[in-house]
A and B are shown apart, each in its own frame.
Chain A
Amino acid sequence: MSEKELILKVSHLQKSFGNHAVLNDIDFEVHKGDVVSIIGASGSGKSTMLRCINLLEEPGGGEILFHGQDITDAKVNVPAYRAKVGMVFQNFNLFNNMTVLENCIVGQVKVAKKKPEEARISAVRYLRQVGMEPFLNAKPRQLSGGQKQRVAIARALAMEPEVLLFDEPTSALDPQMVGEVLSVMEDLAKQGLTMLVVTHEMAFARDVSTHVIYMSEGVIEEEGTPAQIFGAPRSEKTKEFLARFRNTAV
């Protein structure tokens, strides 16, 4: 893992909402090609941490180094940074005023300044990759949750990000739709995309990711390979957390 190029290095990351400390002294690294799953109970700070990484939440302290540059520095061009770090949301957040195709084009044209025709070609390519090509002309409200999420993934991919962040991408989906989204994510992992995934899907964390981080009460309780975390967790809290999941069919 260490020989691969270091993309993200988070150190001493902190965040509080008022008096409530949500994140405490978070340290971890993401290398090129890593698929990092972040697991933990609701309220453990997983999503907040992910949102800090692309500055949707303002970190309260610590550093987030992207290729060595601290992006929490006030001089950093935030939109330009975000264009390189994609994000897939729990609630999809597709642009409701645009068709599926337009959703995947607008960022390429307005942000990445690509020519519209070029953007269209690559949008169609990514939509095909997630199996949503036939729905080019549909509006988000006409799609199912799983379809929306696949479009959201295509939209993020169309920006050709170096890292893709997933914030509980399957939590708002019906059980039947979870599979179609997870299989797209699995394909992306196989293609070597660097991914940071906050998830409750333990099977995904165990079988697809290269690295697992278990968070509890705003700190990283334990991290390691999936085999180690799921096979031989060291922390009592991790054991307890995973035991609860083992009962719910992984």
Chain B
Amino acid sequence: MSISNMSFLGRIGYLLQRYGTSYLKGAGTTLVIALVSTAIGCLIGFVVGVVQTIPVDKKRDSAVKRGLLKVVKVILKAYVELFRGTPMIVQAVFIYYGLSQVFNIQLGMWSAAFLVVSINTGAYMAESVRGGIISVDPGQMEGAKAIGMTHVQAMKNVILPQAIRNIMPQIGNNLIINIKDTSVLSVISIVDLFFVHKSVAGALYTYFESATIVMAIYLTMTLVTSRLLLLVEKKMDGDANYELVDTMDIGNQLRTAREHDGEGRRG
């Protein structure tokens, strides 16, 4: 039976039978790029966000340190604005072909994909991290300073652990956005889920059927991801209850002591 005579479901069945593994491989590629790039992007975002929130002490910091910090902050701000303010699909082309033409660096497709999505995510995460840090109660930093912590110690031990919890929903958002937006990487010939769809649909003129399959796969990936992230958040919040430390021992000791006292008095 030729494909043009099949029903809608029949065509979907046919596509799955014939190209099922290609779809799955595409989905795997999508997932790997999204996961790795979100992780690297978060790292970039944390570094940028933390540097941007370093306070300047006009009195105690040397002029060199202040000047250097200012230059670094301007550069980082420019990075954030550039990659937040342009479409990722253009960034992909710009970086992939730009590196090869201007700097004669031939990036593999995979490296290019990781690079583009990571620095794009990093730009967004930088702002999320900065927001997460600012949203931690200023009293936490004061409490840390008051027991003698330096800015770095306070960030590491007190502020960032709380900021990370605050921005977990943002990290999740970025991961889900990346699962979907890696589809634009087909412009640099990454064989992701969307690329598979385009090939299959173009070859057999089954745009609607293939899109239905791909929609379902994307939705499954994002739903599973968001559920998993909720679990992680719950885990981070820890137990709502706590155990009172067993003070029986102390209590017993006190009681024995009291009994001794009582006997002493009676005797």
Scoring B residues 144 to 164 as 1 if CB is less than 8 Å from chain A, else 0, what string do you get? 111111100100011001100
- A137: chain B residues within 8 A (beta carbon): 242-243, 245
Bound form: Cα–Cα A187–B261 in Å: 24
Complex: chain A residue closest to B144, CB-CB: A95
A171 contacts the other chain (CB 8 A): no
A147-165 contacts to B, CB under 8 A, are 152, 155-156, 159
Chain A residues closer than 8 Å to B150, beta-carbon distance: 79
A residues in contact with B162, CB < 8 Å: 96-97
**Given contacts A106-B157, A107-B149, A111-B148, A94 and B245 within 8 Å (CB-CB):** no
Instruction: Specify which chain B residues have a CB less than 8 angstroms from the CB of A110 in the assembled complex.
Output: 149, 153, 157
Distance between A17 CB and nearest chain B CB, rounded to angstroms: 16
Q: Is the CB of A97 within 8 A of B161?
A: yes
Flag whether B244 is at the interface (Cβ < 8 A): yes
B145 and A159 contact, CB distance less than 8 A = no
Q: Say yes or no for B7: interface residue by CB 8 A criterion.
A: no
- Closest Cβ of chain A to B219, distance in Å, is 35
> How large, as a class, is the contact surface on chain B?
20 to 34
Enumerate B213-261 residues with CB–CB distance to A below 8 Å: 238, 242-245, 247, 250
Are B143 and A82 interface neighbours, CB within 8 A? no
- Is B247 in contact with A134, judged by CB distance below 8 angstroms? yes
Residues of A within 8 A of B148 (CB): 79-84, 107, 111-112, 159
- Cβ of B225 to closest chain A Cβ, rounded Å: 25
Q: Does A133 contact B (CB under 8 A)?
A: yes
- Chain B residues near A209 (CB, 8 Å)? none
Q: Residue of A at shortest CB range from B148?
A: A83
Contact A93/B140 with A56-B145, A79-B148, A87-B146 known, Cβ cut-off 8 Å: yes
User: Which of B144, B162, B165 gathers the greatest number of chain A CB atoms within 10 Å?
Assistant: B144
- Cβ of A203 < 8 Å from any Cβ of B? no
Q: Looking at the assembled complex, report how far the CB atom of A131 sits from the nearest CB atom of chain B, in whole angstroms.
A: 11
Nearest CB of chain A from residue B18's CB, rounded to whole Å:
53
| Residue B266, interface by CB 8 Å | no
A133 in contact with B149 (CB, 8 Å): no
In the complex, the answer to whether A89 meets B142 with C-beta atoms within 8 Å is: yes
B60 within 8 A of A: yes
> CA separation between A134 and B147, bound complex, in Å?
23
User: In whole angstroms, what is the CA distance A87 to B144 when docked?
Assistant: 10
Residue of B147, B161, B243 near A107 (CB, 8 A) is: B147
- Residues in B with CB closer than 8 Å to A84 are 148
B131 to chain A, nearest CB (A): 18
| A58 interfacial contact with B, CB 8 Å | yes
Q: How far is the CB of B133 from chain A (nearest CB, A)?
A: 13
Identify the closest chain A residue to B165 (Cβ).
A97
Residues of B within 8 A of A81 (CB): 148
Q: How far is the CA of A96 from the CA of B244 in the complex (A)?
A: 18
Between A74, A97, A98, A142, the greatest number of chain B beta carbons within 10 A of the residue's beta carbon is seen for A97
Across-interface contacts of B144 in A (CB, < 8 A) = 95
A93 touches B143 (CB 8 A): yes
CA distance A106 to B144 in the complex (A): 9
Which B residues are in CB contact (< 8 Å) with A44? none
CB atoms of B247 and A133 under 8 A apart: yes
A85 → B minimal CB distance (Å) = 8
Residue A78 is within 8 A (CB to CB) of chain B in the complex: yes
B139 at the interface (CB under 8 A from A): yes
* Chain B residues in 8 Å Cβ range of A156: 146-147
Contact A83 B242 (CB under 8 A): no
B145 / chain A contacts, CB cutoff of 8 Å: 56, 79, 82
Q: In the bound complex, how far is the Cα of B148 from the Cα of A112, in angstroms?
A: 9
Which of B142, B158, B243 lies in contact with A97, CB distance below 8 A?
A: B158
Residues of chain A within 8 A (CB-CB) of B153 are 79, 110-111
Are B149 and A79 within 8 A (Cβ)?
yes
Q: How far is the CA of A135 from the CA of B245 in the complex (A)?
A: 6
In chain A, residues 61-87, which have Cβ atoms closer than 8 Å to a Cβ of chain B?
A: 74, 78-84, 86-87
A182 contacts partner chain B, Cβ-Cβ < 8 Å: no
Q: A79-B145, A110-B157, A135-B244 are in contact. List 4 more A-B contacts (CB 8 A).
A: A87-B146, A93-B139, A111-B147, A159-B147
List the 9 closest A-B pairs by CB distance, nearest first: A83-B148, A93-B143, A107-B147, A87-B146, A93-B139, A111-B148, A97-B161, A138-B242, A82-B148
> Residues of B at under 8 Å CB distance from A?
59-60, 137, 139-140, 142-150, 153, 157-158, 161-162, 165, 238, 242-245, 247, 250
Between-chain CB contacts (< 8 Å), 5 pairs: A93-B140, A93-B142, A94-B143, A112-B148, A156-B147
